[in-house]
């Protein structure tokens, strides 16, 4: 098994952790972008460097070359807006000849380290990710690496979807009052429906 690295604490951006995204891949893809501080980003990058360098040297030897072109995309990057971003992903299904179709999920843990059912983790949640480095080489792109998303620790949850709460609405003291369910009731009824 590959070495597992724990990212620093950061803010989740467009996470797909409880259900995989099937828009571009019918087998599904779990993923998360995590925005962290500059210092945490550099410290995490330094942790990965030895394994990436070892993978690069091994691939150079395998290809019989002293140098390989580096792939342009990287899971550690600075966005156009200046955010320090760590991107990790995991295929939901992998088809193999020897073992057939393998299915994967992303484990979730609460702030105390207790395993939990994966909640609807939305953008703005504060989390950490457990990742593995996967180096690769494709002649048309060069040498690169991805981070496989293995688990997340939810420190501060912002759930997505389900009622006004998912849009950032809160209760106002004065104003129109309808006869529908409250934000909390909507979340509870959605959760209960999913549990059955």
pLDDT along the chain (196 residues), means of 10: 89 94 89 98 96 94 93 93 97 87 90 92 95 94 95 93 51 55 44 44
> Distance between CA atoms of 150 and 171, rounded to whole angstroms?
37
**Residues 20 and 70 sit within 8 Å (Cβ to Cβ):** no
What pLDDT, on the 0 to 100 scale, is given for residue 4? 94
CA distances to 35, 107, 112, 155 from 83, rounded to whole Å, are: 6, 26, 28, 20
101 token code pair: 């179709």
| CA-angle at 138, arms to 47 and 51, nearest 5° | 15
pLDDT at 176: 54
Structure tokens at 10: 């950061």
Cα distances (Å, whole numbers) of residue 54 to 57, 60, 67, 169 = 5, 10, 13, 49
Partner residues linked to 96 by β-bridges: 100
The bridge status of strand 142-156 relative to strand 126-138 is antiparallel
Q: Where are the alpha helices (DSSP H) in 27-157?
A: 38-63
Q: How far is CA 75 from CA 23, 144, 172, in A?
A: 20, 9, 41
Residue 84 is predicted with a pLDDT of 98
Alpha-carbon distance 54 to 96, whole Å?
26
SS3 of residue 49 by DSSP:
helix
pLDDT at 180: 45
Q: Are 114 and 44 in contact (CB under 8 A)?
A: no
């Amino acid at each position: 098994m590959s070495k597992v690295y724990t990212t620093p604490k950061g803010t989740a951006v467009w996470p797909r952790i409880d259900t995989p995204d099937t828009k571009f891949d019918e087998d599904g893809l779990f993923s998360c972008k995590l925005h962290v501080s500059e210092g945490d980003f550099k410290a995490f990058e330094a942790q990965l460097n030895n394994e990436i360098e070892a993978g690069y040297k091994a691939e150079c030897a395998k290809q019989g070359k002293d140098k390989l072109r580096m792939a342009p995309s990287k899971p550690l990057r600075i966005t156009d807006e200046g955010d320090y971003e760590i991107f990790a992903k995991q295929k939901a299904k992998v088809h193999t000849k020897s073992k057939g179709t393998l299915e994967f999920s992303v484990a979730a843990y609460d702030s105390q380290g207790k395993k939990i059912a994966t909640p609807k983790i939305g953008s703005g949640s504060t989390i950490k990710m457990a990742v593995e480095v996967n180096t690769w080489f494709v002649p048309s792109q060069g040498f690169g690496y991805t981070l496989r998303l293995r688990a997340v620790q939810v420190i501060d949850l912002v759930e997505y979807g389900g009622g006004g709460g998912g849009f950032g609405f809160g209760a106002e003291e004065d104003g129109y009052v309808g006869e529908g369910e409250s934000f909390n009731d909507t979340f509870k009824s959605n959760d209960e429906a999913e549990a059955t």
